[in-house]
């Protein structure tokens, strides 16, 4: 027999055997699709919600295929060293068969292939016998309610990492809004503005206006910008996402993907936006654009992420900065920044109020403490440091009177930054 014909026969036989091996799998998939209904889940938060929900069911106690999930605690302000606060075990990769409301479900958890610049993600397939969606929809609804409830109850924030994903951080006890000391009624005014925005979804829709609102908190370091943002998020029940743009490894594509994952009723906090290297000044725009392929988010990428196709709606965006004069004017236009709040050096009223939080009975010393502030340009963080070091109210008054820390001048064009309302 000719060698070529023999080779062709073997090739045909191999192809036939390969096809025959696929027949059982394809037949099984066909039967499964005919007699069951399924969904696929590949977003980070819903995947975690399913896993934590299943871990709390009776099956979770019997599961032998587990995955370790780590909660991180941030010990101070954002950006400081993080430590592990809790570890939990949840159903891991592979199939899991469990019973829910008298019906059997098959949940399969698998790892998606890692892509460039992104960490590998987990994907879930949930399947149950039958043709009706009602049992599956009921389970999904319960899982979503469980996830949202846990997200609101726990003091967790999401912080982006260098791989373009959100990482959960536990920040400890949330700070009450009334513990943030601002002059006059500024605290009440910004709270009222955010509440007004949250409850006006139909108003925005009827006028064809994108349902989102931006805030700029600016002032010297230690004046309470981040504390106010975190307290407002807690007060209003908003999920907090902290967006760090300082890394040279974050790209515009990652920025779009990150903001596309942020759900409604969330706050996105961009701290120290003036320190973002490719976006610091108006003259840096062209240079930033040249960095688009080499890493580092650009000014155009930030602007498109804020109010472009991936920006979403129903979200509050808060920028903080020490130097508003260095920001690109395009970032500050209405629609991107709608409300501007300046944090000045502490005044006497703030000094009196924070003193009474430490020594609530010593009203006489509180007046003396406020008077000792005189014309010193101190931030609320400076005053808090003095009070923390004091054993008595008189110690605090003496400490403030002896304060000699030089104030670093910060150039802030105040005439361009007033508080604006709709």
pLDDT given for residue 320 in this prediction: 92
Report whether pLDDT(288) > 60: no
Give the mean model confidence (pLDDT) for residues 326-351.
89
Better pLDDT: 91 or 174: 91
Where is pLDDT greater, at 208 or 156?
A: 208
State pLDDT tens for residues 135-157: 888 998 998 888 777 766 666 78
Residue 229 pLDDT level (bands cut at 50, 70, 90): very high
- pLDDT digits over 349-373, tens only? 999 999 998 999 899 999 999 999 8
* Euclidean distance between CA atoms 311 and 315, whole angstroms: 9
* 171's tokens: 């920040």
> What pLDDT sits at residue 268?
93
Instruction: Determine how β-strand 156-160 pairs with β-strand 166-170.
Output: antiparallel
**With 50 as the cut, is the pLDDT of residue 378 above it?**
yes
Q: Higher confidence at residue 132 or residue 24?
A: 132
Q: How confident is the model at residue 117 (pLDDT cuts 50, 70, 90)?
A: very low
Domains of the chain: 37-154 (no CATH), 177-344 (3.40.50.300), 348-401 (no CATH)
Task: Please report which confidence band the pLDDT of residue 224 belongs to, taking 50, 70 and 90 as the band edges.
Answer: confident
pTM of the model: 0.65
Q: Quick one: pLDDT band at residue 408, thresholds 50, 70, 90?
A: very low
Average pLDDT of 296-324?
82
pLDDT at 402: 86
| pLDDT of 75 higher than 70 | no
Query: What pLDDT score was predicted for residue 77?
Result: 42
Share of the chain above pLDDT 70, in %: 71
Which pLDDT belongs to residue 114?
Answer: 52
What per-residue confidence (pLDDT) applies to 51?
A: 84
């Amino acid at each position: 027999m000719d060698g070529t014909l023999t080779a062709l026969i073997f090739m045909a036989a191999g192809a036939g055997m390969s096809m025959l091996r696929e027949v059982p799998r394809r037949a099984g998939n066909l039967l499964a699709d005919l007699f069951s209904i399924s969904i696929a889940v590949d977003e980070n938060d819903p995947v975690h919600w399913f896993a934590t929900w299943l871990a709390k069911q009776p099956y979770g106690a019997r599961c032998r295929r587990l995955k370790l999930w780590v909660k991180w605690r941030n010990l101070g302000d954002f950006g400081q060293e993080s430590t592990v606060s809790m570890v939990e075990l949840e159903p891991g990769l592979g199939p899991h068969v469990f019973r829910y409301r008298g019906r059997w479900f098959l949940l399969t958890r698998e790892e998606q292939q890692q892509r460039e610049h992104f960490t590998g993600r987990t994907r879930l397939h949930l399947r149950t016998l039958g043709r009706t969606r009602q049992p599956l929809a009921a389970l999904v609804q319960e899982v979503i309610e469980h996830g949202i409830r846990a997200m609101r109850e726990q003091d967790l924030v999401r912080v982006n990492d260098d791989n373009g994903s959100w990482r959960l951080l536990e920040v400890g006890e949330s700070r009450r809004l009334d513990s943030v000391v601002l002059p006059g009624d500024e605290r009440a005014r910004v709270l009222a503005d955010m509440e007004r925005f949250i409850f006006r979804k139909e108003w925005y829709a009827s006028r064809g206006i994108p349902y989102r609102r931006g805030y700029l908190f600016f002032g010297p370091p230690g004046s309470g910008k981040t504390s106010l943002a975190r307290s407002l998020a807690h007060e209003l029940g908003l999920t907090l996402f902290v967006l760090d743009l300082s890394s040279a490894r974050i790209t515009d594509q990652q920025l779009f993907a990150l903001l596309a994952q942020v759900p409604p009723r969330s706050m996105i906090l961009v701290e120290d936006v003036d320190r973002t290297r490719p976006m610091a000044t108006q003259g840096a725009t062209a240079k930033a654009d040249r960095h688009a392929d080499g890493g580092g988010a650009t000014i155009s990428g930030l602007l498109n992420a804020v109010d472009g196709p991936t920006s979403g709606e129903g979200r509050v965006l808060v920028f903080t900065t020490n130097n508003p004069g260095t920001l690109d004017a395009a970032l500050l236009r209405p629609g991107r920044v709608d409300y501007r709040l300046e944090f000045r050096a502490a005044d006497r009223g703030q000094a009196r109020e924070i003193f009474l939080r430490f020594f609530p009975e010593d009203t006489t010393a509180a007046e003396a403490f406020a008077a000792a502030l005189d014309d010193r340009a101190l931030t609320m963080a400076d005053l808090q440091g003095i009070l923390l070091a004091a054993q008595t109210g008189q110690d605090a008054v003496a400490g403030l009177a002896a304060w000699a820390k030089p104030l670093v001048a910060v150039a802030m064009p105040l005439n361009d930054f007033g508080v604006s309302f709709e």
